[in-house]
A and B are shown apart, each in its own frame.
Chain A
């Protein structure tokens, strides 16, 4: 199959594989991610989904937004579920009971279902080498259950289980760098993407689908309820996440790190934090150290990523 041209006017003529009528909140980033992923290719896709906002809002009773075969079974097992589906496909094709149609297998999970409770199943599936792609839509907290902190929640964020109080100023820990952890599995393709950079995201999906074996992609998915921002700023915030280097866009293909898009000018992290109510307390007088600490972490991470890419000559 030739790789689909990523021209907006051509893409717009195609049919969505994720339907309207889903019940995600107005302005949610997750459905934008799903739509871009499914749009990137014409290959048949079968998806598994971890319990979470996306799952619970996309398939309720007789109403499903999915136009592809899709399965949800529990929270922590999207990677294991798709492993089983993919194994059955391989088995039936091998036995001649099913025609090989080059089906692509995807598991979608939020950060809770991926970084935390689903981490073991994800790690196992990657190690086993299933021909699948795991896509985490990372909104940085357990949004479906009401904005509780996860290991993806950024430093300083105010969530319902790490509320910014008089003694504890929000989340005290930095977020887990899952993308790098997945790269450490030695799988052929790992990437980080943003729906604001749709072309970059879709190219990564296309590249991943041409690679046999396990793939992982971490995608930032703004949540205006949890981030306490506006309903119209999901794409604007996803863009700022990239421009401040809070969420760099890069890929690690066969161990080689490449930064796929660099901001023209690295903006200060406060540009990303300021529009979000979850960081409001960090801007209170006396809390400057929180902003400094958050900036220092992003700087260090960005520095390291650039050095890594430079090492491979892929800066």
Chain B
């Protein structure tokens, strides 16, 4: 089954979209996501997909067209990055509030100013409260696999909310890696037929989308939206189990690496997790009980499951590839939220790293582990939040 190829993250995602064959895609170019929809456009031009491609004049219109198309009643996808996601901001909430299962690869990139086209998580983190499911990928294989799974998750009849599949700009989107593609027929079968809910194109039952909802109902609609998010983890795991059966590749809400008996832990998402794992191996050889937790599903955030996974560690370093200026890093805040429910609370530090594509180097992981060892020994925490890898 499947075939093994050497492709970039963008290429793998474009290929996944080809296999999934959405009914409508709307797209607008933005670095580093451009290349993804550009490759997909080739499939459209060559008649390899049935997709109607709407080449809009802005990302705001891209998401608006996706919203119209999804409400019309079909499978819809787009892709973007950074400023593009920022321009979509208004429409992201509307897509989620209207419960439309749009799927969007987000090639994570820094936000301006100053202008920068390289990878960090500022864009995705800025969209964490929009009501979208967010799944982060470490490498091209994960981006491909997550994209295939995300259609099932978003379109699940008990869910029906949009999903973003995130990968690090350039680091993953433009690096050639070994990727195992699933057979076309298996993807098609796995994703299944799109089931429309209240399609606008049903002329026999005219519906109105987008009413004005005033003070007497708005609060209740939001309560219902919250409820949906509580059902997502179950569906994510259910889909992952089925995916594992098909491919042998295992996915969870997060990944634990040598965490089982760890005394100290690093929490980090996406591509930086790979580098961190290598350094963890080196420290393990020296007898240091260090492990890693890599959140995959950031929205909804699996607080209780993460608390359970981290309950035995003494010290945690949360590495954020985004800053919340004047606050802790967004991932740190979530992990702190998870830790809140623990009886034994570990010490926690927050490192901001890799902004605007700054390389995350093995030395930085070493520096963090050394600090964790010290905290674990002394019980003393210095600065809670610090930038690492910064030129001083």
A residues near B, CB below 8 A?
44, 46, 48-49, 55-56, 59-64, 66-74, 76-77, 79-85, 87-92, 94-95, 97-98, 101, 103, 120-121, 123-125, 127-128
Contacts and interface: CB of A to CB of B under 8 A. Distances in A.
A211 B26 CA distance: 25
A77 B212 CA distance: 17
B373 interface: no
A92 B50 CA distance: 9
Contacts of B91: 73-74, 77
Contacts of B74: 88, 91-92, 97
3 nearest A-B residue pairs (beta carbon): A84-B68, A124-B57, A72-B210
B116 interface: no
A70 B208 contact: yes
Contact of B211 (A60, A74, A123): A60
B262 interface: no
A164 to B, nearest CB: 32
B62 to A, nearest CB: 8
B90 interface: yes
Contacts of A68: 206
A70 B209 CA distance: 6
Given A73-B67, A73-B94, A74-B90, A87 B206 contact: no
Interface in B188-203: 200-203
Contacts of B24: 84, 87-88, 91
B66 interface: yes
Interface string B63-76: 01111111111101
Given A82-B68, A84-B67, A92 B207 contact: no
A64 B74 CA distance: 24
A6 B206 CA distance: 25
B1 interface: no
15 contacts: A49-B210, A56-B212, A62-B211, A69-B202, A73-B67, A73-B210, A81-B65, A83-B64, A84-B54, A84-B72, A85-B69, A88-B72, A91-B50, A91-B52, A124-B56
B201 A80 contact: no
B207 A74 contact: no
B55 A128 contact: yes
A60 to B, nearest CB: 5
Nearest to A79: B61
B51 interface: yes
Contacts of B211: 59-64, 72
Given A59-B208, A73-B209, A88-B23, A94 B65 contact: no
B200 to A, nearest CB: 5
A77 B214 CA distance: 22
A165 B212 CA distance: 35
A83 B214 contact: no
A63 B214 CA distance: 12
Given A77-B64, A81-B67, A121-B60, 12 more contacts: A49-B210, A63-B211, A74-B91, A77-B60, A77-B91, A80-B64, A83-B64, A84-B24, A84-B54, A89-B72, A91-B52, A92-B74
A48 B213 CA distance: 18
A90 B50 CA distance: 10
A83 B68 contact: yes
A117 B80 CA distance: 22
Interface residues of B, number: 45
B98 interface: yes
Nearest to B205: A69
A133 B248 CA distance: 51
Given A87-B54, A120-B57, A66 B206 contact: yes
A296 B71 CA distance: 48
B383 interface: no
Contact of A84 (B51, B60, B69): B69
B390 interface: no
Contacts of B72: 84-85, 88-89
B201 A88 contact: yes
A74 B69 contact: no
Given A56-B212, A77-B60, A89-B72, A67 B65 contact: no
A83 B61 contact: yes
A127 B57 CA distance: 10
A91 B73 CA distance: 11
B60 A80 contact: yes
Nearest to B23: A91
B38 interface: no
Contacts of B68: 48, 71, 73, 80-85, 87-88
A101 B208 contact: no
A89 B201 contact: yes
B58 interface: yes
Contacts of B90: 74
Nearest to A65: B208
A95 B50 contact: yes
B202 to A, nearest CB: 7
Contacts of B50: 91, 94-95
Interface in B311-360: none
Contact of A69 (B57, B62, B98, B203): B203
Nearest to B68: A84
A71 B64 contact: no
B1 to A, nearest CB: 27
A84 B209 contact: no
Name the residue in B54, B67, B68, B207 with the highest tally of chain A Cβ atoms < 10 Å from its Cβ. B68
B57 A121 contact: yes
B4 interface: no
Given A69-B203, A84-B24, A60 B212 contact: yes
A88 B73 contact: yes
B217 interface: yes
Contact of A85 (B62, B71, B206, B214): B71
B201 A46 contact: yes
B65 A80 contact: yes
A65 to B, nearest CB: 9
A59 B207 CA distance: 11
